């Protein structure tokens, strides 16, 4: 089977899968999390195309280490931001042009730089700059860990997320901050992770976040599959004066700590282990989803004045108490054209269409 056909079939499967239904938890969790892995590709004849990127910039030694680690496994292409883009998150550049430049890495090999974010670098690759797609995206090796809440800021992880949005399996790899970083262990780990993803596949929306302690292969306690932990930030707002006498601010303070709860990525790394954490792009709060469906979502009655001003924030409670909002919530999932309950407000009609769209697009 060609990769293109495999992709099309996967897309069709995703369309059928739809939104998680009420009661999903009782059936063993939302459907989107229980899909079969990506069909196993046949790498025998062709080498996988691997895209390498990062957020520390094209000149980073971590990027070079990742490229050198993965190039025996496939055809590697390096495209990365031209400057350090750490903590830019999933920023996408839309309001100015982007320039792509050919670069030479420290080992003499060719790379490309983009004067934008890590997401821009991945976008350019998937929007046709190279004239072909990729089978795997690897982002890193970041200089500094990306544990727990860090992933919400991380350009390294966002680059992998951008790949996943483009239906390409991806992983992000970061190494604990150390004054004189040696990426040997992280390079070895990258090959293990890449081999596993190419062999086993990832489902839609999934990526892997890897954090490596600043140790040698002999010193580490091995790989642990973990969940995201909780970071504890000690950021401080530092106020200084610029040469023209105007104050400016700098977010400073000591590096973040974390809660060393067993099973988390933070706990693994502080205990000399390599943390391999599965991430899913579906950020829906499942517990909150259930609660929200019990809340009142009635829009205020149209009083005929036409304005509606002065009414916001003053949503009346439904007369029938708890039963009614649940009915409204169910109503929003009806297909347009399906028979609607007589007492339902008209607003959910639009929500219903939006929901349908959300269902088919995943
Ligand atoms: Mn970085």
* More confident site: 313 or 355: 313
Kindly indicate the confidence band of residue 43, based on its pLDDT and cuts at 50, 70 and 90: low
Distance 17 CA to ligand 1 centre (A): 36
**Radius of gyration from C-alpha coordinates of the chain:** 24
Does 354 or 193 have the greater pLDDT score? 193
Q: Which of 17-26, 40-49, 177-186, 252-261 has the lowest mean pLDDT?
A: 17-26
166 CA to centre of ligand 1 in angstroms: 22
82 CA → ligand 1 middle, Å = 13
Which fold does the domain 37-280 belong to in CATH?
Answer: Stationary-phase Survival Protein Sure Homolog; Chain: A, (3.40.1210)
177 band by pLDDT with thresholds 50, 70 and 90: confident
Residue 314: the pLDDT is 47
Give distance in angstroms: CA of 227 to centre of ligand 1. Answer: 21
For residue 348, the CA-to-ligand 1 centroid distance in Å is: 43
CA of 206 to the centre of ligand 1 (A): 21
* pLDDT, mean of residues 270-275: 98
What are the tens digits of pLDDT across the range 2-14?
445 544 444 444 3
Distance 93 CA to ligand 1 centre (A): 18
Q: If you measure from the C-alpha of residue 102 to the centroid of ligand 1, how many angstroms do you get, rounded to a whole number?
A: 21
Q: Using CA of residue 238, residue 91, residue 151, residue 80, what is the dihedral sign?
A: negative
120 near 81, Cβ under 8 Å?
yes
Q: Ligand 1 centre and the CA of 60: distance in Å?
A: 9
**Averaged pLDDT for residues 111-120:** 98
Ligand 1 centre distance from Cα of residue 187 (Å): 16
* pLDDT at position 170 over 50: yes
Question: Considering the chain, what percentage of its residues have pLDDT values greater than 90?
Answer: 69
pLDDT, tens only, 79-97? 999 999 999 999 999 999 9
Strand partners, 239: 249
Ligand 1 centroid–CA 1 distance in Å is 38
Q: Is the pLDDT of residue 185 over 90?
A: yes
Tell me the mean pLDDT in the region 73-82: 98
Separation of CA 85 and ligand 1 centre (Å): 6
| CA separation for the pair 214, 216 (Å, rounded) | 7
- Per the prediction, the chain carries an average pLDDT of 81
pLDDT for 327 equals: 43
Question: At residue 155, does pLDDT exceed 60?
Answer: yes
pLDDT classification of 22: cutoffs 50, 70, 90: very low
Output 233 or 337, whichever has higher pLDDT. 233
- How far, CA to CA in Å, does 285 sit from each of 282, 288, 290, 291? 9, 5, 9, 10
Q: Please give the average per-residue pLDDT across 181-206, as a whole number.
A: 97
Ligand 1: centre distance to CA 65 (Å): 14
- Cα 119 to averaged position of ligand 1 atoms, centre (Å): 13
CA–centroid distance, residue 175 to ligand 1 (Å): 10
Residue 278 CA to ligand 1 center (angstroms) comes to 20
Q: How far is the CA of 156 from the centre of ligand 1 (A)?
A: 6
pLDDT at 181 (0 to 100): 83
Find out whether 279 and 296 touch, Cβ atoms under 8 Å.
Answer: no
Q: How far is the CA of 155 from the centre of ligand 1 (A)?
A: 7
- Cα 31 to ligand 1 centroid, rounded to whole Å: 34
For residue 141, the CA-to-ligand 1 centroid distance in Å is 8
**Could you tell me the distance, in angstroms and rounded to a whole number, from the CA of residue 218 to the centre of ligand 1?**
26
From the CA of 157, how far away is ligand 1's center (Å)? Answer: 9
Q: Cα(147) to centroid of ligand 1, in Å?
A: 12
Give the residue extent of every domain in the chain.
37-280, 293-303+311-361
pLDDT grade for 318, boundaries at 50, 70 and 90: very low
Report, as an integer, the average pLDDT of 36-47.
55
pLDDT of residue 25: 35
Say if residue 28's pLDDT is above 80.
no
Give 140 Cα–ligand 1 centroid separation in angstroms: 8
The distance in angstroms from the start CA to the end CA of the chain is: 24
**Least confidently predicted of 37-46, 160-169, 246-255, 337-346:** 337-346
């Amino acid at each position: 089977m060609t990769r293109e056909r495999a992709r099309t079939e996967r897309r069709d499967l995703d369309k059928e899968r739809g939104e998680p239904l009420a009661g999903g938890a009782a059936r063993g969790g939302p459907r989107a999390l229980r899909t079969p892995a990506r069909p196993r590709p046949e790498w025998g004849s062709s080498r996988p195309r691997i895209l390498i990127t990062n957020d520390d910039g094209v000149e980073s030694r971590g990027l070079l280490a990742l490229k050198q680690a993965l190039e025996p496994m496939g055809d590697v292409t390096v495209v990365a931001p031209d400057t350090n883009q750490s903590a830019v998150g999933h920023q996408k550049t839309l309001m100015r042009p982007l320039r792509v430049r050919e670069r030479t890495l420290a080992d003499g090999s060719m790379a490309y730089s983009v004067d934008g974010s890590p997401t821009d670098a991945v976008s350019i690759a998937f929007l046709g700059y190279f004239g072909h797609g990729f089978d795997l995206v690897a982002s890193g090796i970041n200089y500094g860990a990306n544990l727990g809440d860090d992933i919400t800021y991380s350009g390294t992880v966002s680059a992998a997320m951008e790949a996943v949005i483009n239906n390409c399996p991806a992983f992000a790899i970061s190494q604990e901050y150390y004054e004189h970083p040696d990426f040997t262990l992280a390079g070895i780990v990258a090959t293990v992770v890449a081999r596993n993803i190419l062999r086993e596949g990832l489902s839609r929306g999934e990526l892997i976040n890897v954090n490596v302690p600043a140790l040698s292969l002999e010193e580490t306690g091995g790989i642990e599959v973990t969940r995201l932990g909780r970071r504890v930030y000690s950021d401080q707002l530092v106020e200084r004066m610029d040469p023209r006498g105007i104050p400016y601010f700098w977010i400073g303070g000591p590096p973040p700590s974390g809660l060393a709860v067993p099973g988390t990525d933070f706990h693994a790394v502080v205990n000399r282990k390599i943390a391999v954490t599965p991430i899913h792009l579906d950020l829906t709060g499942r517990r909150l989803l259930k609660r929200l469906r019990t809340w009142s979502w009635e829009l205020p009655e149209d009083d005929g004045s036409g304005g509606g001003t002065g009414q916001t924030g003053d949503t009346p409670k439904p007369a029938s108490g708890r039963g009614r909002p649940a009915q409204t919530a169910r109503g929003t999932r009806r297909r347009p054209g399906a028979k609607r309950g007589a007492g339902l407000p008209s607003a959910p009609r639009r929500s219903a269409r939006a929901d349908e769209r959300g269902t088919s697009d995943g």
